[in-house]
Amino acid sequence: MPSEMPQAHVWAPEHLQLAVTAAGVALWAWNVDDDGFTMDERGFALWGLPWRDKVTFEELSANIHPADRDRVRAAFAATRAVLGSYETDFRILVGEEVRWVAARGKGEDVGMVGRTMFGIFLDVTARKHAEEGNELLAGEMSHRVKNLLSIASGLTAITSRSSDSTQEMARELIERLSALGRAHDLVRPLPNGQGGDALLGDLLSVLLAPYDDLGAFSGRVRVAVERLGVGAGAATSLAMVIHELATNSMKYGALSVPTGTLDVSSVADPEQVVLSWVERGGPSVEAPEKLAGFGSDLVQRSVRGQLGGQIEHDWSCDGLIVTLRLSRARIAM
């Protein structure tokens, strides 16, 4: 006797509702003639609106982020001409909060019932934030790699001028690149629980060690700061800032010439850690009309956001002076 074919599961309405709830899906229906727009309770909660029987699409679109509003209106108006499935991502405003929503459905009047189209909304805020974080990380890494290549080129040129043989040049270059690699490791975040606080002076000394012996004399980079522990999170942000300042000095400032010097010191303050970055003996500098570029944005974001402080530049005729005012509470985090 042939075996019986398994029976297909019969999806009762309550089963479908359980599946929809488990997936975090919000349902919507849109009457293409009178612009009537209805959603389930999850849909109104997603949009931050009190539940009601019906809302027009025009009224609902008032909650869409202004930068996305015209695009979304045009996309919904064009859905009836779209062949097959469609998906549109956009931002909505819920008070001061910005949420990302994905609208999905079928175009070309597929599944239309009584002049009404059906679809779903999904909250994709977490996914969008992850994508933005990945884009920022990719941009940061690209910028950092370019800086490292620029520094490596400078190290190679300086080493070639100061070495008497290829063997000596290779040895010195390897030592300098290795020191630069150790400094670069401090910029890389470590998983939670790996490593404790670092002393501020040690952190600065390791970061600046690759540049110390590139001039006419050793010890041209001097660090004299208070004894202070720096938390793991703050160490990463501070290392990014110091790395960027040192890179710029290597390219354009005091560290770009053999006789240039750099002094990093701190001033006692009960609420803030005040660091002074003083370059002397380098080429003449002029204040730029505007600090722009990824590196400047990264420094500003790190100082103000992660370190709770501010950064000031003094483009004096003797050389650049940078003052970092950082929150003591944030430094310890």
Q: Give tens-digit pLDDT for 119-148.
A: 888 888 888 888 877 777 777 677 767 766
CA atoms of 92 and 239, how far apart (whole Å):
36
- What is the share, in percent, of the chain residues with pLDDT greater than 70? 74
Higher-confidence residue of 18 and 279: namely 279
pLDDT bracket for residue 192 (50, 70, 90): very low
Tokens 């679109």 map to which residue?
61
CA atoms of 251 and 78, how far apart (whole Å):
52
CB contact at 8 A, 264 and 317: no
Identify the CA nearest to 255 among candidates 274, 242, 236, 266: 242
CA atoms of 243 and 179, how far apart (whole Å):
13
Q: Which amino acid is at 314?
A: D
Average pLDDT over residues 180-198: 53
The pTM of the full predicted model, rounded to 2 decimals, is 0.47
* pLDDT digits 0-9 by tens, 2-23: 556 566 667 777 777 777 777 7
Tokens 């079928």 map to which residue?
106
**pLDDT score, position 6:** 60
**pLDDT score, position 196:** 47
CB contact at 8 A, 211 and 255: yes
**pLDDT score, position 229:** 81
Domains of the chain, each with CATH number or no CATH: 17-123 (3.30.450.20), 128-331 (3.30.565.10)
* pLDDT digits 0-9 by tens, 147-179: 666 666 766 766 676 567 788 777 766 766 665
